[in-house]
Amino acid sequence: MGKLLEVKNLQVQFDIFGAHVQAVRGVTFELNKGETLAIVGESGSGKSVTSKALMGLIPNPPGKIKEGQIVFEGKDLVANTEKDWMKLRGKDISMIFQDPMTALNPTMKVGKQIMEGLILHQHMSKSQARERAIDLLRRVGIPNPEKRVEEYPHQFSGGMRQRVVIAIALACNPKVLIADEPTTALDVTIQAQILDLMRDIQKDTGTAIILITHDLGVVANMAQRVAVMYGGKIVETGTLDEIFYNPKHPYTWGLLSSMPKLHAKTDKLQAIPGTPPDLSNPPKGCPFAPRCPYAMKVCVDQMPAYTHLSETQKAACWLQDERAPKVEPPKTIGVGGE
């Protein structure tokens, strides 16, 4: 497929009230043309900060990219000026934000909001941009688009607003689409429609998608590869099958164990005890060690390096060291099982 985007040792820090919050700590991954990569983890793990860094949306101050590279089509974007980012955003890299109501301007008609990017990046006339906006609304499944292009966001339901946000994100046929929790606020029926829509659009346009989510059910429906993030770091990566059926990191085990099971004999969900680490004072060892039932002294004292488990899977966990005791994953991680 070929690499489209490479993130290398990305480090993002926020200086707030005298504290230095290390929100992203050495994140490295790549995105291939036409694929969907899911980045999963609990709230506070650094997923959304990573996605905003890819769009040049880290507010400075208080935030800054301390170190690392974001290489898109051979160019490092970290050195971009705001003018450079404005040329790139919406045109080559676009984003579906988490809350469609706050992502849309309530004082502007939805058609005008779609037209903005087309006029700026595609140099269309207003009449051309309006026709394209109508076509995009039709494409994302909004009925009677000729009429609705003149309406305001409050006149749309939550699912329809999310479709408008997708239309804006897709207006200029971006090469990379970042979807930050695109279905969180939607009911399951609308959620399924939005995911089907994103799959169809990807099939038609070849757009690569970075899916930011904590919902493993969404991941199972959308992704080809998965990166598991915790404490500002990626702790495991692999193909969808590797992460769901042969995970190696205890945090991944915990996430999979917390998924509802169709044929479970109890209605009680598994939970991961404890809370994520304080990233203003991050641990020197594995960030998951305080919550990990298998933690050893070395886990607390020293950050584990990645162990390459296959050509596509790697995990940062001392349990994968050849000197570590053999630990069997819990039986509760079976996907869809009991």
Q: What is the pLDDT of residue 49?
A: 96
User: Is the pLDDT reported for residue 50 higher than 50?
Assistant: yes
Least confident of 19-33, 90-104, 166-180: 90-104
User: CA-to-CA distance for 13 and 288, rounded, in angstroms?
Assistant: 20
User: Is the pLDDT reported for residue 338 higher than 50?
Assistant: no
- Quickly state the pLDDT bin for 267 (edges 50, 70, 90): low
User: CA-to-CA distance for 226 and 243, rounded, in angstroms?
Assistant: 7
Q: Which of 223, 246, 270 is the last residue of a domain?
A: 223
Do both 129 and 275 map to the same domain? no
Do both 178 and 248 map to the same domain? no
User: Is the pLDDT reported for residue 211 higher than 80?
Assistant: yes
Tracing tokens 């990569």 back to the chain, one arrives at 37
Q: What is the pLDDT of residue 325?
A: 92
What share of the chain has pLDDT > 70, as a percent? 96
Q: Which of 163, 192, 223 is the last residue of a domain?
A: 223
Domain around 129: 3-223
Do both 253 and 195 map to the same domain? no
Q: Which of 5, 25, 16, 40 is CA-nearest to residue 218?
A: 40
Average pLDDT over residues 236-261: 93
Q: Which of 223, 251, 286 is the last residue of a domain?
A: 223
List, for residues 88-126, the tens digit of each pLDDT value: 999 999 999 877 778 899 999 999 999 999 999 999 999
Do both 116 and 212 map to the same domain? yes
